[in-house]
Structure 1
């Protein structure tokens, strides 16, 4: 036979699971102490007289911790993937900068050489430079 205290504990646990507690804050996580406060009993009463209810709470909180852990692991994997992709992108950009720097240096040298040839007088300038 189920005692009135055990029934109250079961009802309190249901309210906590569904996020509709009457006594404790709705944002409070499910725990034995939250259940005890919601049901109006002591923590030790749950541990000592109702170990099966304490086990249910531990099972619920264990699942919640596993879900949180799994969600965090997935987010971490996602962030690591983004990080790797961004590092590869940075490497590509750095490679592009090196190539463009080399091209720019080559063009500057060519430009300086052409200006020097033009100043030497051995080259005749054609047109006014406007197309």
Structure 2
């Protein structure tokens, strides 16, 4: 005989599998796996997982820990990307400043050229 307890357990297990496969039904795709996310996906409160299904809570924590333990390489990659982005932003600002100076100089030279042509025509 199926009880509400086994139905909830099944819902939680299926929700966790869907999140791991990145095919959730209710939470946004690509989200982090967490107890709260599994609870939302299963349609229960996160307290239900903590209080009634500590084994599932521990399983979720294990998955989260595995995900974050592979993280040092990812963190280094993110740090490298952030450093490159910062450097490129500085270069972009410098280039914009150089462009503005060049445009100003070009405009001044254009006006001087017009004045010289006008004086040559007048003489």
Instruction: With the length of structure 1 as denominator, give the TM-score of the two structures.
Output: 0.54
SS of residue paired to 1:13: helix
Q: Name 2:106's counterpart in structure 1.
A: none
Q: Name 1:62's counterpart in structure 2.
A: 65
Q: Name 1:30's counterpart in structure 2.
A: 33
SS of residue paired to 2:22: coil
Higher relative contact order (CA 8 A, sep 6+): 2
SS of residue paired to 1:23: coil
Contiguous gaps of at least 5 residues in structure 2: 81-123
Q: Which has the higher helix share?
A: 2
Q: Does 1:51 align with 2:54?
A: yes
Q: Does 1:21 align with 2:24?
A: yes
Q: Give me the whole-angstrom Cα distance separating, in 1, the residues matched to 2:12 and 2:25.
A: 13
CA distances 1:4-63 after superposition (whole Å, capped 9, x unpaired): 100010000000000000000002100000000000000000000000000011000001
Contiguous gaps of at least 5 residues in structure 1: 80-131
SS of residue paired to 1:3: helix
- After superposition, where does 1:1-131 map in structure 2 within 5 Å? 3-73=6-76, 75=77
Task: Work out the number of aligned pairs and report it.
Answer: 77
The CA RMSD over aligned residues, in Å, is: 2.2
Point out the structure with max Rg over C-alpha.
Answer: 1
User: Runs ≥4 in structure 1, deviation > 4 angstroms?
Assistant: none
